[in-house]
Amino acid sequence: MQLWFMTGNKGKLLEAKHAFSPLGFNVEQFVINGTIPEIIEPQCDTLEEVADAKITQGIELLKSIGKESDALLVEDSGFFIDALGGFPGVYSAYVLEKIGCEGVLKLINSLESLNASFRASACLWDGNIIHRGSGICPGKLVDSIRGVNGFGYDPIFTPFDYLNNSINGLTFGEVEIGIKENFSHRKKALDEVLLSLNNTTN
Ligand code: ITT
């Protein structure tokens, strides 16, 4: 099945390909005339609202090129620091662009708890209806930038799961994509989307 992913983030695209390709999906970046379409990301309080705004605009764009029966994926995600009331959360892309991981490490210098989480909300248009999924990856900030893998906040975050399994304090930047997938908020959100898709098609 052909699946367009409307994202400007190559890291997200790679992870969606890694998760979906073994299941027979051909995941490609959604472009129109070779360009990633411009969309308006509204300033909302939740990732779900932003993901909904992305899929609504994406479906309209598919319609505008006569491809509304194609499948389209969008996802909104963020990094939530517990001791900062969830900040940067829905502002994660902006904060990363402005101060980077180095700036975030300065911000957390005097915090008592370094607990944080990644969260993702995904929507998949199957040509007919929208399937939704969400995922959380709990973990902790580390005190320095470590590793070159992944993207975004990956080099300053080490995950654990609900059974307290960890990757020995390694950051997402220090592990391969297949290991990140075992903990990833994105993989959980995509799994939920797939479950919903399978429930409607079976
Ligand atoms: P889109 O085109 O899909 O919107 P984006 O990078 O702007 O791509 P978001 O608006 O969803 O994505 O912002 C998410 C921010 O959180 C962004 O700065 C990411 O780098 C970061 N982020 C999300 N998931 C991440 C992950 O798995 N690892 C590291 N950083 C992540």
The residue contributing the CA closest to ligand 1 atom 15 is 93
Distance between Cα 78 and ligand 1 center (Å) = 6
Half-sphere exposure of 84 (CA within 13 A, CB side): 20
- How confident is the model at residue 136, as a pLDDT? 97
Q: What are phi and psi of 38, to 5 degrees?
A: -80, 130
Token pair for 18: 């890694």
- How confident is the model at residue 178, as a pLDDT? 96
- How confident is the model at residue 201, as a pLDDT? 75
The Cα 102–Cα 96 span in angstroms is 9
State the catalytic residue, choosing from 52, 76, 126, 154: 76
Distance between Cα 152 and ligand 1 center (Å) = 7
The Cα 24–Cα 109 span in angstroms is 45
- Domain spans, the chain: 2-201
Ligand 1 pocket test: pick from 153, 158, 190 the residue with the most ligand atoms within 8 Å of its Cβ.
Answer: 153
- How confident is the model at residue 192, as a pLDDT? 98
Residue-wise pLDDT tens for the chain (202 aa)?
A: 899 999 999 999 999 999 999 999 999 999 999 999 999 998 899 999 999 999 999 999 999 999 999 999 999 999 999 999 999 999 999 999 999 999 999 999 889 999 999 999 999 999 999 999 999 999 999 999 999 999 999 999 999 977 778 899 999 999 999 999 999 999 999 999 999 999 987 6
Q: What are the E-state strand segments in 32-168?
A: 71-81, 88-89, 115-125, 130-141, 157-159
Return the HEC string of 43-77: CCCCHHHHHHHHHHHHHHHHHHCCCCCCEEEEEEE
- How confident is the model at residue 165, as a pLDDT? 83
Element (H, E) at 185: helix 185-201
Atom in ligand 1 nearest the alpha carbon of residue 186: 27
Is residue 101 within 8 Å of 81, Cβ to Cβ? no
Is residue 110 within 8 Å of 119, Cβ to Cβ? no
Q: Residue 76 catalytic?
A: yes
Q: What is the pTM (predicted TM-score) of this model?
A: 0.96
State which CATH number among 3.40.50.720, 3.50.50.60, 3.90.950.10, 3.40.50.300 fits the domain covering 2-201.
Answer: 3.90.950.10
- How confident is the model at residue 155, as a pLDDT? 98
- How confident is the model at residue 110, as a pLDDT? 87
Find the Cα–Cα–Cα–Cα dihedral 124, 126, 129, 130, rounded to 10°: 0
- How confident is the model at residue 162, as a pLDDT? 74
Maximum C-alpha span of the chain:
54
